[in-house]
Chains A and B, each alone.
Chain A
């Protein structure tokens, strides 16, 4: 049995620890908000946090995270209240098809944890996940908006 801590909850799962975290959380634990896009850590649709840092779960074996705390898109809203990044995303109507957006949101949450008031250039540099619908401009704007909602900037 392997113990995985997902969104603050401990799960006992039986698996081969070489399994990528992505498939463990999606198929074994049912957290399907995290998406499969490429399987080679390129597109970022599978982005989660491991101990607060962004991680591409499709190329991260379970063995690398079993003593760590994993956060998925399902774990960032608290007490029935959306995370400011989610609020900025929903209010700004950022998603089109929406498939990449869980990963985008997780990337944005991590970016704002590191830097609550990023400049336009920093946002462009740090938000590296792919979006095939081309919602990039809306993503950049929503990161700014989320920073405001979090109180990072006026």
Chain B
């Protein structure tokens, strides 16, 4: 039955109590020196929760405070496994909790940030988590040595126990934890030799499977708090519009209705439960002031983008002299591409629950960064950050959507008006589709030149559009004038071309909300660049694989990934008959988030429908700390990218989104899922990300196969706009 969330004790308080001696050993781990938060941590060392990742119960159970959220990508398994490896425990004794907000958990990028995205979780925390585990292990060893009066150097561990072989003594971590907690954390610890890894590099089972197979995993939408009311919301359909007026009196008598409130950009009906709130909202007379954006259309924006493809804009990269090389080339090719706006379409719609009291506040928000939740809550309530408790349940998908705190602001705004009453806001699918922060529409022109021998001598790229980072986080841009979230994926390319140039033309898409969509601009540029490479190969009658290999002379790591997938797929050029139907393969190779992925798609047209039968995928992320999760993320990334390539498109007319639900924004159904074959290459290079890099190559792999199959070159998506026979 229902589980009532205990609101009387936050995790922060729980850990605080534990440190005070309630049988829980909390490890205080110093952050690397030279960081402002490390200094703050030292100053506040009386607070037992500072920098705490690991707590050990008397029974030997380990509570791990994860700084990364679980949205399917496996962080509730991969991150604790890193700790477990060094701490020397088995996975089954770990309970994973989501760490509270606060500077002590900002462990990314030299301890300046904490969020879950950018395929950063494992690679940004690997060293820190190893050290956290190893430090705790060393403290347990020292506690045992002290108790047994033997040198710590003579003690060893086996999962969950410290041993002293000479005397035959053995003690469980749970028994040693209280003493260990009183010891000074060692300044330096020795990390394991990777050759001795028990867990890392192995397909360790997920910690969340059982809960998710029994319906007991708690998502944000499932949060239940005593006395909770439910809110249904309607936002102005036109971006940037406001509420002009509404007549609450028309619905106040409806069953269960408690209040009607204005929220940022919209209205909310609060009722005893969700259905009553939604029923009343549908009957509520609301008039919106559409503001100045009611004439915006995506078609007109596309024309604007395309009209600027010859602009120079700002040159982000240049080698040689591309203009002269193109002018002198024996053969030139120019191709214009564009991609549509896309929605994240997480299966769990946006939702948030908040309880504001006079001096404190609890927010249950599916989020990709607890500090973002705390920040928006502070702004609305005026409460200090210390008084704000952020609870992060499992996310029913994130894909970049839950960085943005619009839905959180709504719940906190309502709860702030109704102090003492917890309020849960749930969006309809229609609100979710029409008020997303979309993958931006982008247009690009690629031009290339060959010399008389057919060698590629020039490649000139112009990307026109606006990126989410420039809009949302301009401070993160290396060069404030160049939005890397428009250019990533065509920057720093491995293909050897003597003359190349990359131009960025900024064309704002305000008023459309734009955001980070799984793999961000790599989803745009992976498609365009790898499709264009295919065009180039065909232009000189080269095999698309051999053509790429010829340009990868100085990029052996890329070449290996490509060669691996070619071998896996038993790559074939041209078309062939399978079960009486024409089939063709398409290939794509793309690096994103530090990980190299090559994919080959085997495609046919069945009754006019693009059918992808098999996808072979080779991936080099340096070292796959959990090969099972890496494989699953490749499958997942392929499904997400294929879904978009086949049929996803957000279009806008009169300032509003045309699509509303899955019947107009179709996501990949099971019947369209290809067989996926994944091979991992542990190259030993720096760790790369895994949640996103599977997505960019699939669209070009499929489209390149379609060219071979039909002769039709796909220069825009989705494929549902094309007719194939």
Task: Identify the A interface with B (CB < 8 A).
Answer: 16, 19-20, 23-24, 26-40, 42-43, 45, 72-74, 77, 82, 86-87, 89-91, 93-102, 105, 124-125, 127-140
Q: Would B216 and A33 count as touching, CB distance under 8 A? A: yes
Report the minimum CB–CB distance from B274 to chain A (whole Å): 6
Contacting residues of chain B (627-670) with chain A, CB-CB under 8 angstroms:
628, 632, 635-640, 643, 661-663, 667-670
Given contacts A43-B662, A73-B214, 8 further A-B contacts (CB under 8 A): A24-B275, A27-B273, A35-B347, A40-B662, A74-B1, A94-B209, A99-B396, A136-B670
Task: Determine if A35 and B348 form an interchain contact, defined as CB atoms under 8 angstroms apart.
Answer: yes
Interface size counted on chain B using CB atoms at 8 A: 63
Please report which residues of chain B, range 254-293, place their CB below 8 angstroms from some CB of chain A when the two chains form the complex. 255, 273-275
B212 at the binding interface (Cβ < 8 Å)? yes
Which of B1, B346, B675 is A30 in contact with, Cβ under 8 Å? B1
Q: Using A27-B273, A73-B214, A130-B347 as known contacts, say yes or no to A98 and B628 having CB atoms under 8 A apart.
A: no
A130 close to B2 (CB less than 8 A): no
A97 touching B396 by the CB < 8 A rule? yes
- Asked if A28 contacts B273 (CB within 8 A), the reply is yes
| Candidate in B210, B399, B628 with the most chain A CB atoms within 10 angstroms | B210
Chain B contacts of A97 at CB under 8 A?
70-72, 346-348, 394-398
Is B429 in contact with A133, judged by CB distance below 8 angstroms? Answer: no
When A99-B396, A128-B669 are in contact, do A134 and B217 touch as well, CB less than 8 Å? no
Mask, B319-349, CB within 8 Å of A = 1, is 0000000000000000000000000011111
**B429 contacts A23, CB within 8 Å?**
no
In the complex the two chains form, is B663's CB within 8 Å of A93's CB?
no
Q: Give complex CA distance A74, B224 in Å.
A: 17
Identity of the chain B residue whose Cβ is nearest the Cβ of A28 in the assembled complex: B273
Q: Which residues of A contact B675 (CB under 8 A)?
A: 137
The answer to whether B221 touches A35, judged by C-beta atoms less than 8 angstroms apart, is yes
User: B233 at interface (Cβ–Cβ under 8 A)?
Assistant: no
Chain B: minimal CB distance from A72 (Å): 7
B334 to chain A, nearest CB (A): 35
User: Which A residue's beta carbon lies closest to that of B662?
Assistant: A42
Which of A28, A29, A136, A140 counts the most chain B CB atoms within 10 A? A136
The 8 Å CB contact of A101, one of B212, B426, B428, is B212
User: What residues of chain B lie closer than 8 Å to A36, measured between beta carbons?
Assistant: 221, 349, 426
Cα-based distance from A72 to B347 in the complex (angstroms): 19
- B302 interface residue (CB < 8 Å to A): no
Known: A32-B2, A98-B396, A138-B632. A40 touches B663 (CB 8 A): yes
Is A23 a contact of B639 with CB atoms below 8 Å? no
Q: Residues of B contacting A131 with CB < 8 Å?
A: 347, 639, 670
- Which 5 residue pairs are nearest across A and B when measured between Cβ atoms? A33-B215, A134-B639, A30-B2, A99-B396, A96-B72
CB of B670 within 8 A of CB of A139, answer: yes
CA distance in complex: A24, B256 (Å): 14
Interface residues of B, dominant DSSP: loop
Can you list 17 A-B contacts (CB < 8 A)? A29-B1, A30-B2, A32-B215, A35-B396, A36-B426, A82-B214, A90-B210, A96-B73, A96-B632, A97-B72, A97-B394, A99-B219, A130-B662, A132-B667, A133-B397, A135-B632, A136-B670
Of the listed residues B224, B669, B670, the one surrounded by the most CB atoms of chain A closer than 10 A to its CB is B670
Q: Are A90 and B661 also in contact (CB < 8 A) when A16-B255, A35-B396, A130-B669 are?
A: no
The CA of A101 and the CA of B214, in the complex, are separated in Å by 9
Nearest A residue (CB) for B273:
A27
Asked if A98 and B72 make an inter-chain contact with CB atoms under 8 angstroms apart, the answer reads yes
- With both beta carbons as reference points, the residue of chain A lying nearest to B640 in the complex is identified as A134
In the complex the two chains form, is B670's CB within 8 Å of A124's CB? yes
A-B Cβ contacts below 8 A, count: 181
CB distance A19 to B275 under 8 Å? yes
Q: Given that A130-B347, A136-B673 are known contacts, is A37 also in contact with B429, CB under 8 Å in the complex?
A: yes
- B72–A23 CB distance below 8 A: no
Set B214, B219, B347, B676: member contacting A77, Cβ < 8 A: B214
A30 touches B224 (CB 8 A): yes
Q: Which residues of B contact A16 (CB under 8 A)?
A: 255
Cβ–Cβ < 8 Å partners of A86 in chain B: 213-214
Q: How far is the CB of A89 from chain B (nearest CB, A)?
A: 4
User: Judging by beta carbons under 8 Å apart, are A93 and B206 in contact?
Assistant: yes
Q: Cβ of B205 < 8 Å from any Cβ of A?
A: yes
Tell me if B222 counts as interface (CB < 8 A to partner A). Answer: yes
Q: Which B residues from 416 to 459 make CB contacts under 8 A with A?
A: 426, 428-429
CB distance from B223 to the nearest CB of A (A): 9
Given A37-B429, A39-B429, A96-B73, is A32 in contact with B222 using a C-beta cutoff of 8 Å? yes
Do residues B429 and A40 form an inter-chain contact, with CB atoms below 8 A? yes
Complex CA gap A65/B628 in Å reads: 42
* Docked complex Cα distance between A140 and B676 (Å): 13
The residue in chain A whose Cβ has the minimal distance to the Cβ of B70 is A97
Q: How far, in whole Å, are A23 and B230 apart by their CA atoms in the complex? A: 12
Q: Decide if B725 is an interface residue (CB 8 Å cutoff).
A: no
Structural contact, A100 and B676, CB atoms closer than 8 A: no
**Bound complex: CA A87 to CA B429 (Å):** 31
Structural contact, B632 and A124, CB atoms closer than 8 A: no
Look across to chain A and name the residue whose beta carbon is closest to the beta carbon of B222: A32
Alpha-carbon distance A73/B399, docked complex (angstroms): 26
B671 within 8 A of A: yes
Determine if A38 and B215 form an interchain contact, defined as CB atoms under 8 angstroms apart: no
> B residues within 8 A CB of A133?
72, 397, 636, 639-640
Q: How far is the CB of B714 from chain A (nearest CB, A)?
A: 22
- Answer whether residue B357 sits at the interface, using C-beta atoms and an 8 A cutoff: no
Residues of B close to A136: CB separation below 8 A: 639, 670, 673
CB-CB < 8 A to B97: which residues of A?
none
Q: B228 to chain A: closest CB distance in Å?
A: 10
Contacts of B406 in A (CB 8 A): none
Q: Across the two chains, which residue of chain B brings its CB closest to A139?
A: B670
Indicate if the CB atoms of A27 and B274 lie closer than 8 Å: yes
Bound together, the chains give a CA A30 to CA B226 distance in angstroms of 12
